[in-house]
Structure 1
Amino acid sequence: MTHYLISFDDGTMDATEEELPAVADAGHAVIQEAKDAGVFVFSGGLDYRQQHATVGRDGVVTDGPYPESKELLGGVLIVDVPTFDDALKWAAKTAAACRCAQDVREFFPFRRF
């Protein structure tokens, strides 16, 4: 099968502070469904208010993401499914649960070096 990254940008969830617990519950339900279906690989949310840094190719460390970044990831789900259409189905479930659009990308095939 193939790994697909399903992700959304930070700040795109359409939910109030009061609705966030319900959104979290809905997101966890999708994750559990993916685990039960045997397609779950990894998931996680990102909070840019926490400590983070960028390490340039020259090894220089700077606080925060690249200055030219306009969009920052807010959360990710990686699934292992046979087709892109299958990944789109999981993205649709995630979009409904998280109340925001999802980006779907295929990982390059894994090779051992």
Structure 2
Amino acid sequence: MPKYLISFEKGSMDHIPAGDWAEVGKAAHAVCQEAKDAGVFVFAGGLRYDDGDVEAAVVAVDGTVTDGPYPESKELIGGVLIVDVPTREAALEWAAEIAVACRCAQDVRKFMFDPELVD
């Protein structure tokens, strides 16, 4: 089945009051558990931007490492959910659930299929 990346931009959840974070986390975990139970969960996680050990870096083809995101990058990912579902419509349904849980819009993109990478 095709895999889809469901993601949101860094800062998309900045409107959430500090007192609501536990509830949002619980709701997001519930959607991920639902995806696991449905057999479509591949991976989920949020990216940290508040810890010096997790700074973005760009590694060039010559091995040079530059701190920070790719210079032309205008968007930074805040969090992701990857699902393995039969259709785009199914991916959009999961995106709708995670949008409600995380209280922010979600971007949905299909991964390219590469038969050489299939187990």
TM-score normalised according to structure 1 size: 0.93
Q: Structure 1: give runs of 5+ residues left out of the alignment.
A: none
- Give, in whole Å, the separation in 1 of the partners of 2:85 and 2:49: 30
Q: What pairs with 1:68-107 in structure 2 (closer than 5 Å)?
A: 68-107=72-111
Residue-by-residue CA offset, 1:47-79 (whole Å, 9 max, x unaligned): 122323211223210112123322100000000
Q: Is the counterpart of residue 12 in structure 1 residue 12 in structure 2?
A: yes
Identity of aligned residues (%): 62
User: Which stretches of structure 1, 4 residues or more, deviate above 3 A after TM superposition?
Assistant: none
Structure 2: gaps spanning 5 or more residues: none
Q: TM-score, normalised to structure 2's length?
A: 0.89
Equivalent residue for 1:110, pick from 111, 114, 118? 114
Aligned to 1:48: 49
CA RMSD of aligned residues (A): 1.3
State how far apart, in whole Å, the 1-side matches of 2:25 and 2:33 are: 12
